Amino acid sequence: MFQQVSPNLYFLVSSSFDSNIAYIDGGEKQVLIDTGTGIYSENLNRDLEKVGSSIKSITDIVLTHSHIDHIGGVLPILKACNPNLHLHRSEGDMINSGDMRLTLSNTFGVELPAMKIQGLLEEGNVLSFGDIDLKIYNTPGHSVGSICLHIEDRGILITGDTMFPGGSFGRVDFPTGSPAQLVESLGRITEWEFEIALPGHMNAILGNGKRYAQMSYEMARSMFMHY
Ligand SMILES: [Zn+2]
Ligand SMILES: [Zn+2]
């Protein structure tokens, strides 16, 4: 079930291998941030209907990175409508050239067909949906094109698989992962202003976001000090 975390912003915590999913009601713009694997797309549709939307109404999908547990859910949505896909350029260019290796779909035995990423994101871009502005930061470490999305005026950070609650963070052993870059990215996150953090997995952090970021940063730094 989607929980409202701020006006027009809802968050669905996954109970499976799927990523968490955020939904923005931007009026004409109906937006998902990450989509899960797609295995549970009927549930997602039902959950969207409960907050007044549906899969076929989605106009935009922003991906925090291209791993299968975040991008797989794009496929059932593309069968229902024609949303714009947004992904950091470093991973979007690969997908647009037909190179699906970074999605790890082979590793997980999923057939992921070619798709077109129209919105190739870069650090500093701002995506505006209704009254919500998402500022894009590139935070590599978990993957080269991982992004965090900052809703600055509401003190909310969507962290993807870069930062998790409880001093935790994304793994660095997938292709293009980098311990040194993850530590650097977590260090950057500690400098931004936010109370709420919405991670790609595990529960939402509904207060003291910066303190959690500091914990993750220090944990990663001590774990990866030899890199
Ligand atoms: Zn993930
Ligand atoms: Zn991932």
Expressed in angstroms and rounded, the spacing between residue 132 Cα and the centre of ligand 2 is 25
Expressed in angstroms and rounded, the spacing between residue 167 Cα and the centre of ligand 2 is 17
Expressed in angstroms and rounded, the spacing between residue 92 Cα and the centre of ligand 2 is 15
For the chain, how many structural domains are there in total?
1
Expressed in angstroms and rounded, the spacing between residue 201 Cα and the centre of ligand 1 is 6
Expressed in angstroms and rounded, the spacing between residue 34 Cα and the centre of ligand 1 is 9
Which residues of the chain fall below pLDDT 50? Answer: none
Backbone angles phi, psi at 54, to 5 degrees: -170, 165
Q: What is the pLDDT of residue 112?
A: 86
For residue 67, the domain's CATH number is 3.60.15.10
Whole domain around residue 135: which residue ranges? 3-223
Its pTM stands at 0.97
Expressed in angstroms and rounded, the spacing between residue 58 Cα and the centre of ligand 2 is 23
Q: What count of other Cβ atoms lies within 10 Å of the Cβ of residue 173?
A: 7
Expressed in angstroms and rounded, the spacing between residue 17 Cα and the centre of ligand 1 is 8
Q: What is the pLDDT of residue 4?
A: 98
Q: What is the pLDDT of residue 205?
A: 98
Q: How far apart are CA 12 and CA 203, in angstroms?
A: 9
Expressed in angstroms and rounded, the spacing between residue 69 Cα and the centre of ligand 1 is 5
Expressed in angstroms and rounded, the spacing between residue 161 Cα and the centre of ligand 2 is 5
Q: What is the pLDDT of residue 227?
A: 66
Ligand located closest to 176 CA: 2
